[in-house]
Amino acid sequence: MSATSASSGGLVQTFNRNKLSWVGIVLFMVLCLIAIFAPFVAPYGPIDQSVMTRMRPPSMEHLFGTDAFGRDQFSRAVYGARISLSVGVVSVFLGMSVGGLLGVLAGYFGKRIDTVIMRSMDVLLSFPTLITGIVIVALLGPSLTNVIVAITVTLIPKFARIARAPTLAVKERAYIEACRAMGFSHARIILFHIVPNILTEILVMASLWTANAIMIEAGFAFLGLGVRPPTPTWGGMIREGFEHIFQAPWMSIFPGLCILLAVLSLNLIGDGLRDALDPRLKQVRDMG
């Protein structure tokens, strides 16, 4: 009894019980606000150079210190949040929409459509993320858009797989049969009766993969495959700091911490969503 009520008790109540997921939400909101209002938050311009203040350690004037060009690392990290977070959010949103829809179609129609969609997804999945990224960036040239395209392409098959499995389960439920008996169209059944019932499971993965996408972007930037300098990104900052890791460790540590915070907040949100989804896990934890 309690299991059924918990599973359908709504996200907000479950989130209320899991305090940590609220910490994650607040943290992520703060990061997003900082990114949106970067010009107001950052005390200096992200590419303003100053020969006088090169490689300064953190101080009240320069919270995160300065780099080899005397640029304020805090301001760069604030502007870098724009790139990192938008790459994460946009690529996951695109990957979720396209991949999720393909997965739902494959699961719902089955047979030939299922085979064609899922086999092509398997092909995409068989290339490692980094290789796919390198190929796409090499073909299209390094830019923000192309980084997003590269990450989206690697996310599509993952979302397709995640969406297909619950679709298979939901389509066997009697209310879908009832919809067919009432003469509803496939589009209506998919949009109004299948998608809402698998959305939570997809959102859990979306939050976790946003964290992943942020890290992948940082990896691309570290390898010089991402946005061109001098535009700041967290991954790019780590790479620039790497050359001076022994003289000026703060140059790499602070952007690293930013990535950590973003990933941590998204993982906390993902855990909260998962509790909302699978109340049995939650109950076991409460009991033990």
Count helices and strands (H / E) in the chain: 14, 0
Closer CB to another protein, 139 or 181, in the complex: 181
Shortest distance in whole angstroms from residue 172 CB to another protein: 9
Which token pair is 85?
């977070």
Nearer to another protein, 64 or 108 (CB): 108
Q: Which is nearer to another protein, 203 or 262 (CB)?
A: 203
Beta bridge partners of 72: 66
Q: Which residue lies nearer to another protein by CB, 87 or 276? A: 276
Taking the complex as a whole, the smallest distance from the CB of residue 180 to another protein amounts, in Å, to 6
**At its nearest, how many Å lie between another protein and the CB of residue 287?**
4
Q: Return the closest-CA partner of residue 92 out of 248, 217, 276.
A: 217
Q: Which residues of 34-44 are buried (b: 16+ CB within 10 A; e: fewer)?
A: bbeebeeebeb
The residue among 17 and 244 lying less far from another protein, judged by its C-beta, is 17
User: Residue 268 CB, nearest distance to another protein (Å)?
Assistant: 25
Please, which residue, 52 or 112, has the CB nearer to another protein?
Answer: 112
Q: Rounded to a whole number, what is the distance in angstroms from the first to the last CA of the chain?
A: 19
CB 158, min distance to another protein, A: 24
Q: Beta-strand (E) ranges in 98-254?
A: none
Minimum distance from residue 286 beta carbon to another protein (Å):
8
Binding site for another protein (CB under 8 A): 1-2, 4-5, 7-8, 173-175, 177-178, 180-184, 188, 192-193, 196-197, 287-288
The position carrying tokens 């790499």 is 252
**Residue 169, H or E segment:** helix 144-171
How far, in Å, CA of 128 to CA of 141, rounded? 19
